[in-house]
Amino acid sequence: MSRVENKSARLGQIEALLLAHPEGLIPAEIARKLEVNRSTITRCLPDLPKHIYVDDFDEGRWKIDRSNYLVHLRLTLHEAMAVHLAARLLATRMDKKNPHAAAALRKVGESLDRIAPRISTHLRLSADVMDDETQRHDPRYLEVLEKLTLAWAKSQRVKVWHRGKDERIYEYNFAPYFIEPYAVGQTTHVTGVHGAHDKRITFKLERIERIEELRDEYTIPENFNPQEQLKDAWGIWFTDSDPVTVQIRFHPRVARRVKETRWHRSEKIDEQTDGYLLWEAKVAEPQEMLPWIRGWGADVEVIAPQTLREMLQGEARRLAELYGWRPSRLDSQNDSPTLAQTFADFFGGNP
């Protein structure tokens, strides 16, 4: 083996070792683990690739820079298309520019250049759309996402300054457990724990005003399972309480559309003899369903729970009054149609 080949092999050994020790290693530890002289390791210093660096603030440890480390990935044509669909879904459901998503999609396109040139061209064009200037540029959001991603990868806490519902800024010593997109609000949320007692909390990334890296390490419990935590959620809202049974009645004119999609893992559909659909599911926080229910307009009626039904009744009244209709006068007459019937007729249909 030539000297160049030997050095290349040594750098590969160092990289593999550092990947196995994300906390980093000092040269003496690397030499001991590779069973070579320390001078052999220090001679590699000028030839270290960009993704390996020396942390002068941590005893001169050699570490992997996760932001610049290239993951080698081999995909089939159909796997690449799955990545494309995921990236396109991200681009159409999030309003902020994400250069990382565009770069990933562009690389997938380049990898398909020989076996599927038409698809390759389409993927590159999709990446260009993601980079388009019409996309909302939010550098603070991108910084928050990048630092949370690194903290999650390195198992190190961060300090976040989060704007609460009362518009006040609160500081948290935070350990991220997982990051989840939220299509309804075109937002991103991170769930984790904070404080001395590791109290669970979820932050909306768009409300994090500032973020700083900390050197405090943390460990995610082995029994933590985000999929289990969110199994009853409609989107991202979860609770320690038992899920609530939600019953919704759909008009025949939307019945086919409702059946085309599985909206929740626990859903059950009962097709009525009159063409209506009775849809039922057990949901952690039914209030999170409001945007979806509103989208069906007068073609849907909430049967249960009563609290959710009353929310929609209140919104129906306010919406009707906003457009100059006073349902309270009709409700007071015994021979008048019900609020639900009249409201549905007013907006073009019966429930």
CATH number (domain holding residue 48): 1.10.10.10
How many of the other CB atoms lie within 10 Å of CB of 80? 21
With tokens 């229910």, the residue in question is: 293
Q: What is the CATH number of the domain that holds 214?
A: 2.30.30
Are the C-beta atoms of 151 and 203 separated by less than 8 Å? Answer: no
The one-character DSSP state at 96 is B
Same domain, 265 and 338: yes
In a domain, residue 250? The reply is yes
Same domain, 96 and 153: no
Spatial separation of the C-alpha atoms in residues 153 and 223, rounded to whole Å: 18
What are the Cα distances from residue 302, in Å, to 256, 266, 280, 284?
18, 17, 10, 16
What are the Cα distances from residue 63, in Å, to 42, 143, 263?
14, 21, 44
In a domain, residue 302? The reply is yes
Q: Tell me whether strands 244-250 and 199-204 are parallel, antiparallel or unpaired.
A: unpaired
Long-range contacts made by residues 204-210, C-beta under 8 angstroms, separation at least 24?
A: 205/141, 205/144, 205/145, 205/148, 206/138, 206/141, 207/162, 207/163, 207/164, 208/144, 208/160, 208/161, 208/162, 208/163, 209/140, 209/161, 209/162, 209/163, 209/169, 210/160, 210/161
Q: Report the pLDDT value the prediction gives residue 123, as an integer from 0 to 100.
A: 82
Are the C-beta atoms of 278 and 269 separated by less than 8 Å? Answer: yes
Alpha helix stretches (DSSP H) within 35-138: 38-42, 77-93, 99-111, 117-130
- When divided into structural domains, the chain yields a total of 4
Same domain, 149 and 208: yes
Write the pLDDT tens digit of every residue in 124-182. 888 887 777 666 778 899 899 999 999 998 899 999 999 998 899 999 999 999 988 87
In a domain, residue 235? The reply is no
Instruction: Put the strands of the sheet holding 169-182 in their side by side order.
Output: 199-204, 187-194, 169-182, 156-163, 208-217
Same domain, 258 and 328: yes
- The secondary structure of 147-174 as a DSSP string is HHHHHHHHTEEEEEEEE-TTS-EEEEEE
Q: Report the pLDDT value the prediction gives residue 5, as an integer from 0 to 100.
A: 60
Q: Which of 243, 256, 283, 253 is nearest to 267 (CA)?
A: 283
Same domain, 251 and 341: yes
In a domain, residue 218? The reply is yes
Spatial separation of the C-alpha atoms in residues 282 and 286, rounded to whole Å: 9
Residue range of the domain that includes 88: 77-130
Same domain, 88 and 52: no
Spatial separation of the C-alpha atoms in residues 283 and 246, rounded to whole Å: 7
In a domain, residue 232? The reply is no
Same domain, 342 and 260: yes
In a domain, residue 236? The reply is no
In a domain, residue 327? The reply is yes
The pair of three-digit structure tokens given for residue 57, joined into one six-digit string: 């603030």
Are the C-beta atoms of 267 and 279 separated by less than 8 Å? Answer: yes
Spatial separation of the C-alpha atoms in residues 239 and 233, rounded to whole Å: 8
Are the C-beta atoms of 130 and 92 separated by less than 8 Å? Answer: no
pLDDT along the chain (351 residues), means of 10: 68 86 88 88 85 88 84 83 80 76 85 84 82 74 92 92 92 93 78 90 92 91 77 72 90 92 90 93 88 89 92 87 69 46 46 40
Same domain, 47 and 118: no
Q: Report the pLDDT value the prediction gives residue 151, as an integer from 0 to 100.
A: 92
Q: Report the pLDDT value the prediction gives residue 4, as an integer from 0 to 100.
A: 56
Supply the pTM of this predicted model: 0.66
Q: Report the pLDDT value the prediction gives residue 136, as an integer from 0 to 100.
A: 72
Same domain, 260 and 334: yes
Are the C-beta atoms of 270 and 277 separated by less than 8 Å? Answer: yes
The three-state secondary structure class of 209 is strand
Q: Report the pLDDT value the prediction gives residue 342, as an integer from 0 to 100.
A: 47
